[in-house]
Amino acid sequence: MLRLAPWKVASILTVIVLAVLLVVPSFLGAGVAERLEKALPSFLPVRPIVLGLDLQGGASLLWEVDSAALTRAQVNALRDDVRGKLREGHISISGGIAVQPRGVQVRIADAAERAKALADLQSLNLPISSALIGTAGHTLDIAETGDGAVTLTLTDAAINDKIHRAVTQSIEVLNRRLNDKGTKEINIQQQGVDRILVEVPGLQDTTKVKDLVGTTANLEFRLVADPGDPPSDFDNLPQQQGGQLPVQKHVMVAGEDLTDAQPGFDQNNEPDVNFRFNLRGGQRFGQVTAENVGRPFAIVLDGKVISAPRILGPITGGSGQITGNFTVEEANNLAILLRAGALPAKLTVVEERTVGPGLGQDSIDAGKRAAIVGGILVVCYMLATYGIFGVFADLALAVHILFIFASMALLGATLTLPGIAGVVFTIGMAVDSNVLIYERIREEAHMGRSIISALDAGFKRAFATIIDSNVTMFVAATILYLFGSGPVRGFAVSLGLGILTSVVTAVTMTRMMIALWYRYKRPTRLPI
């Protein structure tokens, strides 16, 4: 108990100094933080604690990938592949290719042809590799389902892989759209299997973000249908200015062949978007326009005709303009969307939360007040109950609070309003370890032990209880973190960190202080 290795004292003091350095940037404003960053060695992360959107104000939008549409597209692609394979192998089928929710079915009457088809179709069955677990299986289950039928069903792995890739790709596209200017201020991350969380600090009106994210931005250049075209060759698409326009199904050039798009103004000083094709797109576009001089073509965005200009002559320069009665803002957005590329699937908002800067600041102030008053109450109560030992507990409590914030800064954890509540709660909870130790010491002293032996026994006996009781709390915090969402996670973080730091400070720091006190004071009776 009394033996106190100097290296232990030194290491505790070092950790405290480091913790102070970690916390300083969060409480002294950006200017001080910058100067510190220059003065300190680079291995020390000097960054303020990240405030959650509920404290700094801002919008958080949860988007969901339309996975049903993705699967439908996957099934359609499979149907085309199957048709191609069967045609290639000159296999005759009775009836068409039946499309099922998750696959396709064909009937092949002749047994020999069926066997050949099974072998041929096997080549459509591709292995799925995943970065995490290596080969995760195949894309298809191919089986004879009796009565001459062959059924190809997409595996779960294939469907999930498609969704996963769509989400990853969407995040890339959204990053280009929203963080267009290279600022990484907007946080875009995957959530769950098919969701994407977009967090925009400081934003109140979410309309623009919704426009930017909710648009698939699938751009197509197609010829307007001739009156003589068969109906199966064209779609009737809605036009932006109203009405419908018959447009050929065949796509001349698609948005993926764009390399750049910039907002500008046409000769009438109307806002437009100037775009540039890559080599392939430029050649295709040049060729088609050369063959169709005089005919109108349609610029189609997400199934809607923006404009349908007449081809005045071959456009071979690999660039062009889109005009369509845009406002400057609309032209700007369209340019961003085209530059960023199309989303692989439509995204819909499933959850939206915004907090105004006023409420955020109010919450910070209220949280601060509650923490300070709560802290003072606990500190005074400990002093009144335990005297000098209360001072030790209070010092340990101060270090505990310091450690919570320091570890948050170190881990880059986000502080939310429930997180502040968690800190306040652990202020009340942290002294529990001290209380357990002190009450045990008293008990041992009452049983007639000497001071030094009562101190020793108190620490030793209370320790097991401290660990047991804190494990239960820590488990609750961990599970809250795993199952919680948004600000509630902030509570779990500060509760979990608070439990860890309180055990460390109550046990080691209090022990150290009591040992020092005993050494210099040589008390004759226990002050509690």
| Binding to another protein, residues 349-368 (CB under 8 A) | 349-356, 358-359, 362-363, 366-367
Question: Which of 453, 417, 443 minimizes the C-alpha distance to 528?
Answer: 443
Torsion sign (Cα): 91, 95, 99, 105: negative
- Residues 407-426, mask of contacts with another protein (x by CB under 8 A): ----------xx-xx--xx-
Least separation in angstroms between residue 144's CB and another protein is: 38
Among positions 509-528, residues that touch another protein (CB under 8 A) are 527-528
Considering only residues 432, 441, 493, 510, which one is a binding residue for another protein as defined by CB under 8 A? Answer: 432
At CA 409, angle to CA 429 and CA 24, rounded to 5? 95
Q: Are strands 140-144 and 134-138 parallel, antiparallel or unpaired?
A: unpaired
Contact between 248 and another protein by CB under 8 A: the answer reads no
Least separation in angstroms between residue 116's CB and another protein is: 45
Show Cβ contacts of residue 376 under 8 Å, excluding neighbours closer than 6 positions.
none
DSSP per residue, 268-290: TS-EEEEEEE-HHHHHHHHHHHH
Q: Which residues pair with 60 in a beta bridge?
A: 199, 353
Identity of the residue, 288 or 457, whose beta carbon is nearer to another protein in the bound complex: 457
Least separation in angstroms between residue 20's CB and another protein is: 23
Contact between 18 and another protein by CB under 8 A: the answer reads no
Torsion sign (Cα): 456, 460, 461, 463: positive
**CA 194 centroid distance within chain:** 11
Least separation in angstroms between residue 517's CB and another protein is: 15
Contact between 62 and another protein by CB under 8 A: the answer reads yes
Identity of the residue, 270 or 439, whose beta carbon is nearer to another protein in the bound complex: 439
Among positions 323-342, residues that touch another protein (CB under 8 A) are none
Torsion sign (Cα): 444, 450, 453, 459: positive
Residue 152, token pair as written in the block: 């190809």
Least separation in angstroms between residue 195's CB and another protein is: 9
Least separation in angstroms between residue 166's CB and another protein is: 18
Among positions 483-502, residues that touch another protein (CB under 8 A) are 483-488, 491-492, 495
Mark the segment that binds another protein (CB under 8 A) among 110-118, 174-182, 215-223, 480-488: 480-488
Considering only residues 112, 131, 312, 384, which one is a binding residue for another protein as defined by CB under 8 A? Answer: 384
d(CA 110, CA 116): 10
Only one residue has tokens 């009775």, namely: 94
Instruction: List Cα–Cα distances, 71 to 121, 160, 350, 392, in angstroms.
Output: 20, 9, 20, 64
DSSP per residue, 97-113: PEEETTEEEEE--SHHH
Least separation in angstroms between residue 525's CB and another protein is: 13
Considering only residues 74, 170, 414, 470, which one is a binding residue for another protein as defined by CB under 8 A? Answer: 470
Contact between 346 and another protein by CB under 8 A: the answer reads no
Contact between 88 and another protein by CB under 8 A: the answer reads no
Contact between 429 and another protein by CB under 8 A: the answer reads yes
Among positions 185-204, residues that touch another protein (CB under 8 A) are 204
